Amino acid sequence: MNDKELFPRFSDAEYAKRYSAIRDAMKKDNLDAILISGARGSSEVHYLSNYLAQSPCWLLFPREGEATVFIHFFNHQPCAKAQSVVEDVRWYGPTPMPTLAEEIRRRNLAKSRIGLVSMRAMAYGYVSELQRQFPEAEFIDFGPQFGRIRRVRSKEELVYLRKSGFLTDLACEALENNLRPGLTEQDVLSIVYSAYIKNGGDPGIHFIASTNMTSPDRFVPWQKQTSRVLEKVASS
């Protein structure tokens, strides 16, 4: 199998459509490039590159020319390259700013208007360092514009949304068939994982909690599971 067959990805036409929409919005705001800061599972970086990050990452996306993905761990590079539709995937080194600054200069963007996705969520230290390094550049928040484009789902995206619903159904069916007294919340999580991972799902956050329904002590599922044991409560 070649790299394109190893991981799910949208068609070239889908990415061309996304790139065109993003670049039209950039043109409207008179931006020469956008810079996206992502972390584990970053949906913004994934939207334009298909790289589903497992650690901090950045995407430099110019209005003209090819994009570059910068990743945190050197040893993640082979897997990141296999996932990404962006050809240029690089390790940014011990810290991102020196490498990003060098690339911005190399692309003659030092006096440009650059959109940040999303400036409201980006670490203050990174934003202030960009402003210090490039006093003649203008950095604006492009997050809202980016988000509005992403909220309009394409036919190809709907196919994957339906598949995600199918994977969720598998997890619910597994819980229905396998829950029993004596299991811990961690066992419950294992049931959920086992239902969809073998079908191509990717584990994320799961909200699970157990409580005595006659005397409940939890009113919402918890973000972390415990060793609490499921018990059968005698009916009154």
pLDDT, tens digit, 9 for 90 and up, residues 84-114: 999 999 999 999 999 999 999 999 999 999 9
Do 165 and 131 share a structural domain?
Answer: no
3-class SS of residue 222:
strand
Do 170 and 123 share a structural domain?
Answer: no
User: Could you list the residue range(s) of the whole structural domain that residue 109 is in?
Assistant: 3-150
Do 111 and 37 share a structural domain?
Answer: yes
DSSP string of 101-147, one letter each residue: HHHHHHTT-TTSEEEEETTTTS-HHHHHHHHHH-TTSEEEE-HHHHH
- Position 211: which residue type? T
Do 167 and 133 share a structural domain?
Answer: no
pLDDT band per the 50, 70, 90 thresholds, residue 202:
confident
Please, which residues bridge with residue 115 across strands?
Answer: 34, 140
Q: How many domains does the chain have?
A: 2
Confidence at residue 89, expressed as pLDDT on a 0 to 100 scale: 97
- Of 150, 182, 208, the one marking the end of a domain is 150
pLDDT of 236 > 60? The answer is no
Do 218 and 195 share a structural domain?
Answer: yes
> Quick one: average pLDDT of 162-190?
95
Percent of the chain with pLDDT over 70: 98
For residues 55 and 73, the answer to whether their CB atoms sit within 8 Å is: yes
Do 163 and 116 share a structural domain?
Answer: no
Do 110 and 197 share a structural domain?
Answer: no
* Entry pTM: 0.87
> Quick one: average pLDDT of 13-33?
97
- Of 132, 150, 168, the one marking the end of a domain is 150
- Of 125, 150, 175, the one marking the end of a domain is 150
Confidence at residue 119, expressed as pLDDT on a 0 to 100 scale: 78
User: CA-to-CA distance for 88 and 70, rounded, in angstroms?
Assistant: 9
**Which DSSP category does 41 fall into?**
T
Percent of the chain with pLDDT over 90: 75
Do 21 and 107 share a structural domain?
Answer: yes
pLDDT of 40 > 60? The answer is yes
Distances 31 to 27, 38, 80, 149, 171 between C-alpha atoms, Å: 6, 20, 27, 16, 44
Here the CATH number for the domain that contains residue 83 is 3.40.350.10
Confidence at residue 42, expressed as pLDDT on a 0 to 100 scale: 75
Alpha-carbon dihedral angle through residues 13, 165, 54, 209, given to the nearest 10 degrees: 170
Do 164 and 216 share a structural domain?
Answer: yes
Q: Where are the alpha helices (DSSP H) in the chain?
A: 3-6, 12-28, 43-49, 77-83, 96-106, 124-133, 143-150, 155-178, 185-197
How do residues 109-144 score in pLDDT, each as one tens digit? 999 999 999 777 888 999 999 999 999 999 999 999
Do 63 and 11 share a structural domain?
Answer: yes
User: CA-to-CA distance for 144 and 201, rounded, in angstroms?
Assistant: 29
pLDDT of 71 > 80? The answer is yes
